[in-house]
């Protein structure tokens, strides 16, 4: 991992070309009515408050269920597991011990895990970190979006929840 500078990783460009990364964040910014506002928030504050329900929803995953699903609380191992299992962008809010998997917009009422891993959607907002915030403190990308429209498949997020639930009950993977 690169060295940290003001909470921002110096190796943030590794893993995806800057053009694809820029396109991914432009796509996220267009969830706001005025995309330039999101770009300005990322530059000035390091995070943008984006509306959910049109371009994407977010599933709130407690660190407990994510770590159980990953079989570890080692953040590098958790990140690698999330990248492999979810195949899409995941935000980690370290101070709140929460992860947010970005998923396709769908009816939140049809989500099978409203109590243990609520899905946020239309009428709600999510703080989305700037592209270069890759941890390990504060609000950052555990797994950054790779291209425009990159989202975690909903069934993959549900599978992670099931694995985590099973592990917390003492089951085996």
What's the whole-number mean pLDDT along residues 47-71?
Answer: 97
Residue 169, SS3 per DSSP: coil
- The string of pLDDT tens digits covering residues 13-52 is 334 467 777 999 999 999 999 999 999 999 999 999 999 9
Cα angle 67, 131, 58 (rounded to 5 degrees) comes to 50
Residues with Cβ within 8 Å of 122's Cβ and at least 6 positions away in sequence, in order, are 52, 53, 54, 105, 108
- Report pLDDT for 136: 86
Confidence band of 11 (pLDDT split at 50, 70, 90)? very low
**Closest C-alpha to 126, from 21, 20, 55:** 55
What's the whole-number mean pLDDT along residues 55-60?
Answer: 98
Confidence band of 171 (pLDDT split at 50, 70, 90)? low
d(CA 121, CA 104): 10
Residue 9 has pLDDT above 60, yes or no: no
- The string of pLDDT tens digits covering residues 112-140 is 999 999 999 999 999 999 999 998 899 99
Residue 7 has pLDDT above 50, yes or no: no
Question: Which residue, chain included where needed, has tokens 């997020």?
Answer: 157
Q: Return mean pLDDT, the chain.
A: 89
């Amino acid at each position: 991992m690169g060295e940290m500078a003001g909470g921002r990783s110096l190796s943030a460009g590794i893993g995806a070309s800057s053009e694809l990364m820029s396109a991914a964040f432009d796509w996220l910014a267009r969830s706001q009515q005025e995309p330039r506002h999101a770009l300005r928030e990322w530059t000035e504050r390091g995070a943008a408050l984006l509306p959910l329900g049109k371009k994407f929803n977010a599933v709130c995953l407690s660190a407990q269920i994510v770590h159980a699903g990953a079989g570890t609380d080692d953040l590098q191992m958790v990140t690698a597991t999330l990248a492999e299992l979810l195949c899409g962008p995941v935000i980690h809010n370290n101070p709140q011990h929460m992860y947010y998997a970005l998923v396709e917009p769908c009816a939140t009422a049809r989500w099978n895990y409203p109590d243990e891993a609520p899905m946020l959607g239309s009428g709600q907002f999510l703080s989305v970190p700037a592209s270069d915030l890759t941890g390990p403190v504060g609000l950052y990308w555990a797994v950054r979006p790779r291209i425009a429209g990159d989202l975690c498949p909903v069934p993959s997020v549900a599978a992670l929840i099931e694995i985590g639930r099973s592990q917390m009950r003492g089951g085996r993977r």
